[in-house]
Amino acid sequence: LSQSHLKRINPTRPLKPNQAGIKRIVLSTRENPAIQKSTTKPIRTPVNVNQKILVILHSDNGMLDAHARQSIAAAAILADIETAVVVLVLGELREELAEAGADEVRVIPQLDYLHYQPNVELACVDAVIADIEPVRILMPDNFIGDGDLGRRLIAKYSNRTAATQVVEINATQIGCYQKGGSQLGVMQLPDIVLIAADAAESKLPFVGAAVQKDCTNLFQTHLPSDNPILDLGLEKLAASDIALEEADFVISAGNGVNRVDTFMQLAKVLDAAIGASRVAVDDGKFSRDKQIGATGKTVSARAYLAIGISGAVQHLQGIKDCRHVIVINRDNSAPIVKRANLSVIGDAEEVMHALITLVSEAKLNKERTPE
Amino acid sequence: MKKLACLVSVGAHPVSHEARYSRNDGLALGLGLSIANAQNMALEVLHAGNVESPALLDYLALGANNIKVLPVSDDANILDSLVSELNNTDLILLGTRAEFDEDSGLLPYLLAEKLQIPLVNHALDIDLKDGVLEILQFLPKGKRRRIRVTLPAIVTVHPLASIKTNYVFAKKVSGKITSLANAYQATGLAIKQSAWTMQANSRKPNKLKAREHVSAHARMLSAISSESKSGVVVNEGTSVEKAQVILTYLREHYLIDF
C-alpha cells in the first residue's frame, strides 16, 4: 500500500451527525458547524482591584515550562474578583501569558537563570514587591532558580509565613510532605508559597488580560557594588553523557529505522540523547538502558524526535511529559501521529539523510557568520 | 587559619522511616573531609539535637572523628543555637534538604541571612584555593555551572554529588561524640514558626482545579465530537522539503541554537 499513490483515509475517523441527526461517516473534511465548539474563552477582568497576588518565575529559553504555568494558574484560581494576578518573569519572555491566566506581566530579561546572580535577583524582586505590595507570593519550587530565589525571599521576609514544596493548595490551606515524606503537614494558606510540580492544573476556563508593564531598567539600578559570587560560566555535558531522563533533546528509533548508523549520525549532529522503542531494543539494535516506555524509561525532554515509531500506548506513556513531539513515520494513521505536534510522513532513511545535510549546513553557516 | 564546619542531621530510612544518617548530609561530610585532608585543616562536625541519636554513630563511621552536639530539645528552634556556634566559621557545608521535621530546605538560607554571608546551593564538587572556593553547581537538563566565591560562605551539597563515602565500623567505635554544655531553651516551634497539623501520608493530595461552568448542551456536544488533538501532518513534498519543515519547527520553538 505504501508504494501506491492512493491517499490513505483514517480508518478510525469519527462519525458525524447530519442535519437529520443520523450519524454518518462523512469523507469531506469540512466540520459540521453544529459541533464546532467556541474556542474563545472569556477574559477574567478583576474589578476594584484592592490586592494583588505576585507570581515570580524564571523563563527557560524564553518559554515557561508546565510547572511555571501551573503556578500562574494556581494564582489565577485563588484570586477572587477583586484580586489581580501579577506575573514577574525573570529572563527573556517570548510567549503570551494571557492563556496562562496573568492579568499583568513584568519581565526583567537580564535575570536569566543561566547567569548566577542571586544578589541582583533578590534586590530587583524586592523592588517589585515594594512597588506592588502583594498579598501573597507564589513561585514554582524548581531547580532553575525559583526554588533558590524563593527560599532567599522567605529568609529575607522573616515576619511572613511561608511553605516550600507545597503539594496541595486551595483557598484556605496548603499541604506538604514532611518527615521524609511519611507525613502530610497542613497549615493555613501562608504568605509565600513555593509550589511543587503538579499541585495545580494549568487548564483554565478563562484568560487573563496580560498587560505588559515595562521594568527593564530595574536591573541597572540594582547592580551591587561588590559581588562575592562570581559566575565562571556554564559547562554543557555532551548529550551522550546525560542520563536519558535528564536530557532536553531526545531522538529515538523504532522498527522503521533500518540503518542504525544513519540514525546515530543524526543524533550526533543534533547533539541529542539517544532512545529507542521496545521493538528496536528487542532486535538488538540498542542496549536495554535506551528503552523508552512503560517498561523502560520515562523522559521529560522539551523536544522528542521519534523516527519510525508507531507509538504503542506503552511508548506514549514514556513520553507523556515531552513538550514538543516530532515524528517521522511512513504511516499517517499510526497512533503517535495523534500525539505529535509535527508529523512528517515519508521514508525515515531519506528524511534522516536530508536532515543531516541541512543541520550540518546550518551549523557551518552559523560558524561562518558569528553574531 | 580557616574554620571549616559540616552540619549533620538525623535522616530517615526511605521505607521503614527508621532513624539513620541522612544521605545528603553524608555527602556534605565526605566533601568536607576531602577538603580538610587536602588543606590540612580540622573539620568541625556539628549536630543540633539529641546526643543519644543512633544516627550520629553512622556519621562517625563515615569519617567524622568528633561530633559536637548542641543539646536542643525537640520543640526548640535550632537556628539560634547554630548561629551562635557558627559565628566565626569560614565554610559551612550541609545537605540540601533534611529528612526529618519540616524538611523545607530553608535552614541554609535562614543561616545565611542571619550570619550575613553568601550562599551557593546544589554544589556537586568544591575546590578550595587561597580562601577562594570554586564550586561546580548542578543545573537540570545536563547543565553544570562553575562559580567562584570568596569565603566565608555556606554551601549546600546536591544529592547527585559523586562523592565516595566509606562506612568504616572501626571508626564508628573509635569516634567521639561530645555534647556542648549550654542547653538551648525552646524559642519557637519550628524554623519558620508556622502552625502545622500533621496527617498520616495515606491519601493522594488534591489537585487545584478551576471550577468550570459549562452547560449540559455544551458537555454533550464535547462528548459526541472527537476533538482532534494532533498537530501538523506533512504528507506531501520531497524528503528535503520535509526535513526543512522539521528544522523550521525546531528553530521556531527555540529547541536548537543554529
Cβ-contact A90, A144 below 8 angstroms? no
**Distances, alpha carbon A290 to alpha carbons A249, B76, B120, B165, in Å:** 14, 49, 34, 29
Q: Give DSSP secondary structure letters for A78-90.
A: H--TTEEEEEEEE
Cβ contact (<8 Å) for A183 and B230? no
What pLDDT, on the 0 to 100 scale, is given for residue B74?
63
What pLDDT, on the 0 to 100 scale, is given for residue A80?
87
CB-CB neighbours of A224 under 10 Å: 11
Amino acid at site B45: V
Three cell numbers written together for A357: 545535510
Helices A348-368 + B239-252 axis angle, to 10: 50
Cβ contact (<8 Å) for A351 and B218? no
Cβ contact (<8 Å) for B149 and A175? no
What pLDDT, on the 0 to 100 scale, is given for residue B230?
66
From the list A175, A183, A234, which residue is nearest B145 (CB)?
A234
pLDDT digit string (tens) for B152-198? Answer: 899 999 998 888 888 989 988 998 888 887 655 544 444 555 577 88
CB-CB neighbours of A306 under 10 Å: 30
Residues of chain A in contact with residue B211, where contact means CB-CB under 8 angstroms, are: 205
Q: For residue A120, what are the contacts with CB-CB under 8 A and spacing of at least 6?
A: A111, A219, A222, A223, A224, A227
What pLDDT, on the 0 to 100 scale, is given for residue A206?
87
pTM, entire model? 0.83
Query: A51 pairs with which residues across the strands?
Result: A83
Average pLDDT of adjacent 10-residue blocks, chain A of 371 residues:
67 69 62 51 83 92 89 92 91 88 90 89 90 92 91 89 89 86 85 91 87 82 79 81 85 91 92 92 91 90 92 90 90 88 91 92 84 57
What pLDDT, on the 0 to 100 scale, is given for residue A65?
87
- ipTM of the prediction: 0.87
Cβ contact (<8 Å) for B199 and A183? yes
- A216 touches B: beta carbon within 8 Å: no
Cβ contact (<8 Å) for B221 and A35? yes
To the nearest whole Å, the CA of B97 is away from the closest chain A CA by 9
What pLDDT, on the 0 to 100 scale, is given for residue A228?
82
Cβ-contact A208, A43 below 8 angstroms? yes
Cβ contact (<8 Å) for A358 and B240? yes
Average pLDDT of adjacent 10-residue blocks, chain B of 258 residues:
86 84 91 89 87 88 88 72 84 87 84 90 89 89 88 91 88 87 54 69 85 82 68 86 92 85
To the nearest whole Å, the CA of B179 is away from the closest chain A CA by 25
Cβ-contact A280, A254 below 8 angstroms? yes
What pLDDT, on the 0 to 100 scale, is given for residue B223?
76
